[in-house]
């Protein structure tokens, strides 16, 4: 399906390009006053028309940035040549007005702004050239009312900017919407898959782990073999962890009992639980929580959310780094929980990938933690925002509607 669409749009693209080329050829040869006169301007016209055709012909094959900039540059040169070389064809100035519109087709902000600025500089240069070389009478269209023409020109560029701004905004919105739909779809598929796979795998794993634990105590098992048993059990434990995380994802629709949860208590219990985990790398967890902050949530889910975020903060921290957890009421009856670390941090690209299933940069990571967090936050109409810079640490800010 997708192929036929691109095939069709490619067909249309080439049809339009060929039509443009025919128009350019007609312009070059049919009743062209300079044709066969050996005029320098005519050769420029020929050169830029040829270059322009070549660029738009090869563009679908090599959709590179350089080629896009080249197309805008060459068309600028071509249109200004037409304007200056054929003064009697007054309408060529219209082409000049539309030059930045080419950049709109490519949705390239930098290219668009550059071409608007370049167009202003060139139009002033062209008018200055006409006046200084005493050719005003040749361009009555422009010099008849220079000021009026310049105002019209600026107006046309502002108008193009208006079109550009609104189209790019709409496209950005569409893109975002598309990403969200894709994300939701992925979530749904992962959830369904998770339920099926987890059930299939959990039982055999439990059996294997049980036997390994038995062998650990069995006198008849030789010692060399026994040495590797803890490692095997540990591996099974981490597999089990992935499975239980997957399972918790597969039941997002299930309504859990919610209650009025005291944030201070919840955070303190998470900090206490993870203190020993932090000690491994000499990391300290500092808690600064405003008393009397409550949210309506399922206690276990809030716990799971906080454990995941604080654990990530510990895992990102360098030896001796401190993790700060704060919570306070903010405007509009919201409670904000912030978890800050001074660890490795993330780039913008990494932040954009957070919450994608199985996205993990850790050797033993599952890449499911933040996906679960996103699910929980969404379920209770909260929000989660990551602020991070590489090498300087990360702040995760979670907001929930507060409860009296
Ligand atoms: P996991 O912890 O199993 O890797 P998560 O979903 O919890 O999976 O996190 C995904 C990835 O996001 C991590 O592997 C890590 O690269 C990145 N990440 C999460 N939190 C932080 C943080 N506080 N600092 C730096 N990177 C982080
Ligand atoms: Mg994690």
Q: How far apart are CA 290 and CA 328, in angstroms?
A: 5
pLDDT tens, residue by residue, 286-329 = 999 988 899 999 888 898 899 999 999 999 999 999 999 999 99
Q: Radius of gyration (Cα) for the chain, nearest Å?
A: 33
Least trusted range by pLDDT, from 147-151, 269-273, 355-359: 355-359
pLDDT score recorded for residue 153: 94
pLDDT score recorded for residue 250: 63
pLDDT score recorded for residue 8: 62
Most informative mutation of 345, 365, 376, 395 for ligand 1 (most atoms within 8 A of CB): 365
pLDDT score recorded for residue 252: 54
pLDDT score recorded for residue 1: 38
**Does residue 370 have its Cβ closer than 6 Å to ligand 1?**
yes
Of all ligands present, the nearest one to the C-alpha of 358 is 1
**Does residue 375 have its Cβ closer than 6 Å to ligand 1?**
no
Ligand 2 centroid – CA 277 distance (Å):
13
pLDDT score recorded for residue 253: 53
pLDDT at 277 over 90: no
Of all ligands present, the nearest one to the C-alpha of 353 is 1
More confident residue, 125 or 143: 125
What's the rounded mean pLDDT across residues 146-166?
93
pLDDT tens, residue by residue, 109-119 = 899 999 999 99
pLDDT tens, residue by residue, 184-227 = 777 777 777 777 777 788 888 888 999 999 998 888 888 888 88
**Does residue 263 have its Cβ closer than 6 Å to ligand 1?**
no
pLDDT score recorded for residue 2: 41
Ligand 1 atom nearest the C-alpha of 359 is 10
pLDDT at 249 over 80: no
Residue nearest to ligand 1 atom 19, measured at CA: 312
Residue nearest to ligand 1 atom 8, measured at CA: 367
**Does residue 343 have its Cβ closer than 6 Å to ligand 1?**
yes
pLDDT at 81 over 70: yes
**Does residue 12 have its Cβ closer than 6 Å to ligand 1?**
no
pLDDT tens, residue by residue, 281-290 = 899 999 999 8
pLDDT score recorded for residue 55: 95
**Closest by alpha carbon to 99, among 118, 84, 86, 81?**
118
Ligand 1 centroid – CA 285 distance (Å):
18
What's the rounded mean pLDDT across residues 261-273?
93
pLDDT score recorded for residue 353: 92
Residue nearest to ligand 1 atom 21, measured at CA: 312
Least trusted range by pLDDT, from 33-37, 246-250, 267-271: 246-250
What percentage of residues in the chain have a pLDDT greater than 70? 96
Ligand 1 atom nearest the C-alpha of 365 is 3
What's the rounded mean pLDDT across residues 238-249?
76
pLDDT score recorded for residue 3: 43
What's the rounded mean pLDDT across residues 123-149?
90
More confident residue, 9 or 56: 56
pLDDT score recorded for residue 337: 97
pLDDT at 91 over 70: yes
**Does residue 341 have its Cβ closer than 6 Å to ligand 1?**
yes
pLDDT score recorded for residue 255: 63
pLDDT at 33 over 60: yes
Of all ligands present, the nearest one to the C-alpha of 373 is 1
Contact 400, 262 (CB under 8 A): no
pLDDT score recorded for residue 254: 56
Average pLDDT value for the chain? 89
């Amino acid at each position: 399906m997708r192929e036929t669409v691109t095939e069709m749009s490619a067909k249309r693209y080439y049809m339009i390009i060929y039509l443009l080329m025919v128009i350019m050829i007609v312009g070059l040869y049919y009743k062209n006053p300079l044709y066969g006169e050996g005029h320098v301007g005519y050769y420029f016209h020929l050169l830029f028309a040829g270059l322009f055709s070549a660029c738009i012909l090869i563009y679908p094959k090599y959709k590179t940035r350089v080629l896009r900039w080249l197309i805008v540059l060459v068309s600028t040169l071509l249109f200004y040549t037409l304007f200056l070389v054929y003064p009697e064809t007054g309408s060529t100035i219209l082409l000049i007005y539309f030059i930045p519109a080419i950049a709109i087709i490519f949705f390239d902000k930098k290219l668009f702004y550059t071409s608007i600025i370049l167009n202003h500089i060139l139009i002033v240069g062209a008018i200055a050239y006409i006046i200084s070389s005493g050719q005003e009478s040749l361009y009555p269209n422009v010099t008849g009312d220079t000021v009026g023409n310049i105002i019209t020109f600026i107006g046309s560029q502002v108008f193009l900017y208006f079109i550009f701004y609104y189209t790019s905004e709409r496209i950005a919105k569409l893109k975002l919407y598309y990403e969200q739909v894709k994300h939701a779809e992925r979530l749904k598929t992962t959830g369904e898959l998770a339920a099926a796979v987890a059930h299939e795998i959990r039982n055999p794993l439990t059996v294997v782990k049980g036997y390994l634990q038995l062998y650990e105590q069995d006198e008849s098992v030789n010692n060399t073999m026994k040495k590797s048993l803890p490692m095997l059990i540990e591996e099974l434990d981490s597999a089990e962890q992935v499975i239980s995380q997957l399972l918790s994802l597969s039941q997002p629709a299930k309504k859990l009992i919610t209650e009025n949860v005291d944030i201070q208590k919840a955070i303190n219990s998470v900090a206490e639980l993870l203190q020993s985990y932090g000690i491994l790398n000499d990391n300290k967890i500092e808690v600064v929580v405003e008393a009397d902050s409550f949210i309506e949530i399922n206690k276990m889910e809030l716990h799971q959310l906080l454990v995941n975020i604080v654990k990530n903060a510990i895992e990102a921290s360098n030896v001796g780094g401190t993790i700060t957890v704060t919570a306070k009421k903010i405007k509009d009856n919201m409670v904000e929980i912030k978890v800050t670390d001074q660890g490795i941090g993330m780039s913008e690209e990494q932040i954009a990938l957070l919450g994608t299933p199985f996205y993990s940069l850790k050797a033993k990571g599952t890449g499911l933690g933040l996906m679960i967090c996103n699910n929980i936050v969404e379920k209770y109409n909260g929000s989660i925002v990551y602020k991070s810079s590489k090498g300087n640490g990360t702040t995760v800010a979670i907001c929930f509607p507060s409860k009296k």
